[in-house]
Copies of this chain bind each other. A is one copy, B any other.
Amino acid sequence: MSSTGIPESIARLIGELSKLPGIGEKNATRLAFHIFRYPRENADNLVKAIIDTRTKVILCEECFTFASQSPCSICTGADRDRSSICVVEEPLDMIAVERSGEFKGRYHVLHGLISPIEGIGPEDLKVKELLGRLKEGSVREVLLATNPSVEGEATALYLARLIKPLGIEVTRIAHGIPMGGDIEYIDEITLSKAIRDRRHM
Protein backbone atom coordinates (compact mmCIF):
# COMPACT_ATOMS: atom_id res chain seq x y z
CA MET A 1 0.00 0.00 0.00
CA SER A 2 1.49 3.31 -1.05
CA SER A 3 1.22 6.49 1.01
CA THR A 4 -1.80 7.65 -0.99
CA GLY A 5 -3.77 4.56 0.00
CA ILE A 6 -3.58 2.90 -3.42
CA PRO A 7 -2.45 -0.75 -3.36
CA GLU A 8 0.89 -1.14 -5.10
CA SER A 9 -0.49 -3.39 -7.88
CA ILE A 10 -3.17 -0.85 -8.81
CA ALA A 11 -0.63 2.00 -8.61
CA ARG A 12 1.56 0.13 -11.11
CA LEU A 13 -1.44 -0.51 -13.39
CA ILE A 14 -2.30 3.21 -13.24
CA GLY A 15 1.30 3.97 -14.21
CA GLU A 16 1.24 1.56 -17.15
CA LEU A 17 -2.13 2.84 -18.41
CA SER A 18 -0.89 6.45 -18.13
CA LYS A 19 1.82 5.61 -20.68
CA LEU A 20 -0.81 4.99 -23.35
CA PRO A 21 -1.52 7.92 -25.70
CA GLY A 22 -4.32 10.24 -24.63
CA ILE A 23 -4.76 8.67 -21.19
CA GLY A 24 -3.94 10.98 -18.28
CA GLU A 25 -3.46 9.95 -14.66
CA LYS A 26 -7.09 10.55 -13.64
CA ASN A 27 -8.38 8.54 -16.56
CA ALA A 28 -5.85 5.79 -15.86
CA THR A 29 -7.01 5.64 -12.22
CA ARG A 30 -10.65 5.17 -13.31
CA LEU A 31 -9.65 2.49 -15.81
CA ALA A 32 -7.48 0.63 -13.28
CA PHE A 33 -10.29 0.46 -10.71
CA HIS A 34 -12.70 -0.57 -13.44
CA ILE A 35 -10.37 -3.41 -14.44
CA PHE A 36 -10.14 -4.48 -10.79
CA ARG A 37 -13.92 -4.74 -10.59
CA TYR A 38 -14.29 -6.44 -13.97
CA PRO A 39 -15.97 -9.85 -14.22
CA ARG A 40 -13.21 -12.44 -14.44
CA GLU A 41 -13.99 -13.26 -18.08
CA ASN A 42 -13.57 -9.63 -19.23
CA ALA A 43 -10.22 -9.29 -17.50
CA ASP A 44 -8.99 -12.59 -18.96
CA ASN A 45 -10.13 -11.57 -22.45
CA LEU A 46 -8.34 -8.23 -22.19
CA VAL A 47 -5.07 -9.86 -21.14
CA LYS A 48 -5.39 -12.54 -23.84
CA ALA A 49 -6.11 -9.93 -26.54
CA ILE A 50 -2.99 -7.97 -25.59
CA ILE A 51 -0.80 -11.08 -25.60
CA ASP A 52 -2.27 -12.30 -28.91
CA THR A 53 -1.73 -8.90 -30.51
CA ARG A 54 1.88 -9.02 -29.40
CA THR A 55 2.54 -12.58 -30.50
CA LYS A 56 0.28 -13.23 -33.50
CA VAL A 57 0.32 -9.94 -35.39
CA ILE A 58 3.19 -9.32 -37.83
CA LEU A 59 4.06 -6.84 -40.58
CA CYS A 60 3.20 -7.85 -44.15
CA GLU A 61 6.51 -8.01 -46.05
CA GLU A 62 4.84 -6.62 -49.18
CA CYS A 63 2.81 -3.61 -48.01
CA PHE A 64 4.03 -3.37 -44.38
CA THR A 65 0.59 -3.23 -42.83
CA PHE A 66 -0.22 -5.19 -39.68
CA ALA A 67 -1.38 -8.67 -40.58
CA SER A 68 -1.87 -12.23 -39.34
CA GLN A 69 0.17 -13.67 -42.19
CA SER A 70 2.67 -12.32 -44.75
CA PRO A 71 1.89 -11.41 -47.46
CA CYS A 72 -1.40 -10.14 -46.04
CA SER A 73 -4.83 -11.04 -47.35
CA ILE A 74 -5.14 -7.75 -49.25
CA CYS A 75 -1.78 -8.22 -51.02
CA THR A 76 -2.78 -11.76 -52.05
CA GLY A 77 -6.49 -10.98 -52.65
CA ALA A 78 -7.64 -12.25 -56.05
CA ASP A 79 -10.18 -9.42 -56.21
CA ARG A 80 -7.60 -6.64 -55.71
CA ASP A 81 -6.52 -4.51 -58.66
CA ARG A 82 -2.77 -5.14 -58.98
CA SER A 83 -2.24 -2.07 -61.17
CA SER A 84 -2.71 0.51 -58.40
CA ILE A 85 -1.11 1.13 -55.01
CA CYS A 86 -2.40 3.52 -52.34
CA VAL A 87 0.41 4.95 -50.20
CA VAL A 88 -0.49 5.78 -46.58
CA GLU A 89 1.37 6.88 -43.47
CA GLU A 90 0.00 4.34 -41.00
CA PRO A 91 -2.00 1.08 -41.01
CA LEU A 92 -4.89 3.07 -39.45
CA ASP A 93 -5.03 5.24 -42.58
CA MET A 94 -5.17 2.09 -44.69
CA ILE A 95 -8.09 0.81 -42.65
CA ALA A 96 -9.89 4.15 -43.13
CA VAL A 97 -9.41 3.95 -46.92
CA GLU A 98 -10.58 0.30 -46.86
CA ARG A 99 -13.73 1.29 -44.96
CA SER A 100 -14.58 3.88 -47.62
CA GLY A 101 -14.88 0.96 -50.09
CA GLU A 102 -13.68 3.31 -52.84
CA PHE A 103 -10.23 1.82 -53.50
CA LYS A 104 -9.79 -1.65 -54.98
CA GLY A 105 -6.01 -1.79 -55.38
CA ARG A 106 -3.27 -2.68 -52.91
CA TYR A 107 -1.55 -0.56 -50.26
CA HIS A 108 1.88 0.54 -49.14
CA VAL A 109 2.38 1.72 -45.55
CA LEU A 110 5.26 4.20 -45.09
CA HIS A 111 5.29 4.00 -41.27
CA GLY A 112 5.83 7.73 -40.92
CA LEU A 113 6.23 10.93 -42.90
CA ILE A 114 9.30 12.91 -43.95
CA SER A 115 9.95 15.47 -41.21
CA PRO A 116 13.29 17.34 -41.18
CA ILE A 117 12.36 18.90 -37.80
CA GLU A 118 12.02 15.47 -36.20
CA GLY A 119 15.00 14.20 -38.18
CA ILE A 120 12.93 11.70 -40.16
CA GLY A 121 14.20 11.24 -43.73
CA PRO A 122 13.02 8.97 -46.59
CA GLU A 123 15.55 6.33 -45.45
CA ASP A 124 13.56 5.96 -42.18
CA LEU A 125 10.36 5.15 -44.11
CA LYS A 126 9.41 2.22 -46.37
CA VAL A 127 10.27 4.29 -49.49
CA LYS A 128 12.96 1.97 -50.87
CA GLU A 129 10.55 -0.93 -50.50
CA LEU A 130 7.86 1.02 -52.40
CA LEU A 131 10.21 1.70 -55.31
CA GLY A 132 11.13 -1.98 -55.32
CA ARG A 133 7.46 -2.92 -55.73
CA LEU A 134 6.96 -0.34 -58.51
CA LYS A 135 9.94 -1.61 -60.47
CA GLU A 136 8.26 -5.01 -60.78
CA GLY A 137 6.20 -3.35 -63.54
CA SER A 138 2.54 -4.20 -62.89
CA VAL A 139 1.64 -0.89 -61.19
CA ARG A 140 0.13 1.89 -63.35
CA GLU A 141 -1.10 4.30 -60.67
CA VAL A 142 0.14 5.36 -57.24
CA LEU A 143 -2.47 7.18 -55.12
CA LEU A 144 -0.76 9.25 -52.43
CA ALA A 145 -3.09 9.29 -49.42
CA THR A 146 -0.89 10.94 -46.80
CA ASN A 147 -2.54 13.51 -44.50
CA PRO A 148 -2.95 17.11 -45.72
CA SER A 149 -0.37 18.30 -43.17
CA VAL A 150 2.99 19.99 -43.88
CA GLU A 151 4.77 16.63 -43.53
CA GLY A 152 2.09 14.78 -45.48
CA GLU A 153 2.29 17.24 -48.38
CA ALA A 154 6.10 17.24 -48.37
CA THR A 155 6.19 13.44 -48.38
CA ALA A 156 3.64 13.30 -51.22
CA LEU A 157 5.70 15.78 -53.25
CA TYR A 158 8.92 13.86 -52.61
CA LEU A 159 7.35 10.56 -53.68
CA ALA A 160 5.72 12.10 -56.77
CA ARG A 161 9.12 13.34 -57.98
CA LEU A 162 10.62 9.87 -57.46
CA ILE A 163 7.80 7.90 -59.06
CA LYS A 164 6.80 10.00 -62.10
CA PRO A 165 10.10 9.29 -63.94
CA LEU A 166 9.19 5.57 -63.76
CA GLY A 167 6.28 6.32 -66.13
CA ILE A 168 3.69 5.63 -63.44
CA GLU A 169 0.69 7.93 -62.95
CA VAL A 170 0.81 9.64 -59.54
CA THR A 171 -2.45 10.91 -58.00
CA ARG A 172 -3.26 12.65 -54.71
CA ILE A 173 -6.47 12.33 -52.66
CA ALA A 174 -8.62 15.46 -53.04
CA HIS A 175 -8.63 18.14 -50.35
CA GLY A 176 -11.66 20.31 -49.81
CA ILE A 177 -14.68 20.96 -47.65
CA PRO A 178 -15.71 17.78 -45.82
CA MET A 179 -19.19 16.41 -46.52
CA GLY A 180 -21.61 18.08 -44.11
CA GLY A 181 -19.07 20.85 -43.51
CA ASP A 182 -20.08 24.50 -43.32
CA ILE A 183 -18.42 27.00 -45.68
CA GLU A 184 -18.98 29.74 -43.11
CA TYR A 185 -16.85 27.97 -40.51
CA ILE A 186 -14.26 26.21 -42.65
CA ASP A 187 -10.64 27.38 -42.26
CA GLU A 188 -9.39 29.65 -45.06
CA ILE A 189 -6.63 27.31 -46.26
CA THR A 190 -9.11 24.48 -46.83
CA LEU A 191 -11.54 26.87 -48.50
CA SER A 192 -8.93 28.33 -50.85
CA LYS A 193 -7.81 24.78 -51.69
CA ALA A 194 -11.45 23.80 -52.35
CA ILE A 195 -11.90 26.78 -54.71
CA ARG A 196 -8.64 26.17 -56.55
CA ASP A 197 -9.57 22.48 -57.01
CA ARG A 198 -13.17 23.25 -58.12
CA ARG A 199 -14.72 20.78 -60.55
CA HIS A 200 -17.11 21.02 -63.49
CA MET A 201 -20.59 19.75 -62.81
Contact = CB atoms under 8 A, between A and B. Distances in A.
A9 B74 contact: no
* A-side interface mostly: helix
Residue from A13, A29, A47, A67 having most chain B Cβ neighbours under 10 A? A13
A99 interface: yes
A69 to B, nearest CB: 8
Interface in A61-87: 65-69, 72-74
Given A36-B53, A47-B51, A92-B30, A74 B16 contact: no
A49 B16 contact: yes
A20 interface: yes
A192 interface: no
A68 B34 contact: no
A68 B27 contact: no
23 contacts: A1-B67, A1-B73, A4-B95, A4-B98, A5-B94, A5-B98, A7-B67, A8-B68, A10-B53, A12-B49, A13-B53, A16-B45, A16-B46, A17-B46, A20-B34, A21-B31, A22-B30, A32-B53, A35-B50, A43-B50, A43-B54, A47-B47, A50-B50
Given A9-B53, A13-B49, 13 more contacts: A1-B69, A1-B74, A7-B57, A8-B68, A12-B53, A13-B52, A16-B45, A19-B42, A20-B31, A20-B34, A35-B50, A43-B54, A47-B50
Interface of A: 1, 4-10, 12-13, 15-17, 19-23, 27, 29-36, 38, 40, 42-43, 45-47, 49-54, 56-57, 65-69, 72-74, 90-92, 94-95, 98-99
